[in-house]
């Protein structure tokens, strides 16, 4: 809906003539201030911007006989001038209603229904603050499917699916949880990588257990943007859609972050966690259904210290874990040393598990995961 790939190159072939011709319609038309990419997104507060996009949708409806249309508000997530987001909620709701009417008219011509979906930020408060009242779209019968998702830098392994289910209750709207390709657990993390079969399994098991009706894969292609373990791509497609096909499989639950926030909001990130001597920190990890097999907490220490060097002790849900030892972790993995702590089976529960870490001497933790079913 508002793509800004390559906006640092005004002549790039990706840009429309409309975008080039109307810099005054951008979120931040003031060129005197330091720009970020999102400044050059179009501002849907301008009627001309909405009319331009609606004309494109009308042309699509006239040219093609399709079964569904998706409004991707996550490309790239900021659609109004700074400060225009609150007024923008009514604008986008009215716009979605107009699209719904357009599709209904063409459904009569085509002789079959045409469904409407939308993609919005993973967290309801972020979507609301950015001007996307997705709950209203659902309650007013404007959409058939809602995809809640991060933007791009990282998969979000703690999307509040339960809250979205409450907001959509009684609407009949299908709730899909979007899984991004990349793993980037903190903003300045030095080694972003793609998800593997095991980490995608972990994320899928979590969102399905939390109530998602569908798992939606974004950028999981079979070339260019693709998993590093591409040979497992067919297996991924067969397995991640249900708990039945995920049952008994090795899966990993990595602590990541939300990658989308509204202007003025502070980014929320659990990592890196710097501990002084005698320091404590807790991490919350959602593992989906209660694991039946072996479970291990894996921690990565940024400065390369050993567990004994810093005197690390780990508990899961209040129960002491086994002594830490160095472990090899498959991709995705950090560049720094990783250590495994065996979790007592009786302490593991479905849903959230609370990992508490105590350090006798100072250290910095840059990676946290719960590994389920490791061989």
Q: Tell me: the pLDDT tens digits for 140-160?
A: 999 999 999 999 999 999 999
pLDDT recorded at residue 278: 97
| pLDDT, mean of residues 364-371 | 98
pLDDT recorded at residue 128: 98
Q: What is the pTM of this model?
A: 0.96
The CATH H-level (homologous superfamily) assignment of domain 17-251 is Glycosidases (3.20.20.80)
What would the DSSP string read from start to end of 175-243? EEEEEESEE--STT-S--EE--HHHHHHHHHHHHHHT-SEEEEES-BSSSSB-TTGGGHHHHHHHTT-H
| pLDDT, mean of residues 109-121 | 98
**Average pLDDT over all residues of the chain:** 96
Position 306 confidence tier, pLDDT thresholds 50, 70, 90? confident
| pLDDT, mean of residues 20-35 | 87
CATH 3.20.20.80, the chain: domain bounds: 17-251
Ranges 54-68, 253-267, 307-321, most confident:
54-68
CB-based contacts of 215, cutoff 8 Å, min separation 6? 176, 177, 179, 204, 207, 208, 240, 241
Q: How far apart are CA 238 and CA 326, in angstroms?
A: 33
Q: Is residue 324 scored above 80 in pLDDT?
A: yes
CA distances from 363 to 1, 154, 268, 310, 360 (A): 44, 25, 21, 7, 9
pLDDT recorded at residue 116: 99
pLDDT recorded at residue 34: 63
CATH 2.60.120, the chain: domain bounds: 273-372
Q: Is residue 316 scored above 80 in pLDDT?
A: yes
- Topology of domain 273-372, CATH: Jelly Rolls (2.60.120)
Percentage of residues in the chain having pLDDT higher than 70? 100
Position 70 confidence tier, pLDDT thresholds 50, 70, 90? very high
| pLDDT, mean of residues 10-28 | 95
Q: Is residue 310 scored above 80 in pLDDT?
A: yes
Beta bridge pairs of residue 326: 339
Q: Is residue 304 scored above 80 in pLDDT?
A: no
Position 372 confidence tier, pLDDT thresholds 50, 70, 90? very high
Q: Is residue 32 scored above 80 in pLDDT?
A: no
CB 67 within 8 A of CB 112: yes
Q: Is residue 249 scored above 80 in pLDDT?
A: yes
pLDDT recorded at residue 332: 98
Chain centroid offset of residue 200 CA: 12
């Amino acid at each position: 809906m508002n793509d800004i790939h390559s906006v640092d190159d005004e002549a790039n072939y990706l840009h429309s003539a409309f975008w080039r011709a109307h810099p005054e319609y951008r979120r931040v038309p003031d060129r005197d201030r330091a720009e970020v990419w999102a400044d050059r997104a179009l501002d849907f507060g301008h009627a001309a911007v909405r009319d331009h996009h609606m004309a494109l949708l009308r042309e699509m409806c006239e040219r093609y006989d399709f079964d569904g249309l998706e409004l991707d508000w996550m490309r790239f997530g900021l659609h109004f001038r700074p400060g225009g987001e609150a007024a923008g909620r009514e604008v986008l709701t009215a716009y979605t209603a107009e699209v719904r009417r357009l599709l209904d008219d063409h459904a009569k011509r085509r002789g079959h229904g045409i469904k409407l979906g939308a993609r919005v930020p993973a967290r309801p408060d972020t979507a609301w603050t950015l001007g996307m009242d997705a709950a209203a779209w659902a309650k007013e019968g404007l959409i058939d499917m809602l995809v809640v998702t991060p933007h791009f830098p990282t998969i979000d392994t703690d999307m509040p699916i339960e809250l979205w289910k409450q907001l959509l209750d009684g609407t009949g709207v299908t709730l899909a949880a979007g899984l991004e390709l990349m793993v980037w657990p903190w903003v300045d993390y030095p080694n972003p990588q793609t998800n593997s079969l095991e980490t995608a399994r972990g994320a899928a098991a979590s969102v399905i257990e939390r109530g998602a009706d569908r798992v939606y894969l974004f950028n999981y292609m079979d070339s260019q943007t693709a998993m590093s373990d591409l040979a497992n791509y067919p297996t991924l497609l067969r397995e991640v859609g249900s708990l039945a096909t995920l049952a008994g499989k090795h899966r990993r639950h990595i602590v990541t972050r939300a990658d989308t926030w509204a202007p003025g909001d502070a980014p929320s990130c659990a990592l890196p966690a710097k501990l002084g001597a005698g320091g404590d920190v807790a991490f919350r990890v959602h593992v989906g259904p209660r694991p039946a097999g072996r479970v291990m907490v894996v921690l990565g220490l940024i400065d390369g210290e050993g567990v004994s060097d810093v005197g690390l002790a780990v508990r899961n849900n209040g129960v002491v874990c086994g002594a830490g030892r160095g472990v090899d972790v498959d991709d995705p993995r950090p560049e720094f040393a990783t250590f495994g702590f065996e979790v007592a089976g009786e302490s593991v529960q479905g849903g959230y598990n609370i990992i508490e870490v105590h350090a006798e001497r100072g250290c910095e933790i840059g990676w946290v995961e719960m590994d389920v079913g490791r061989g």
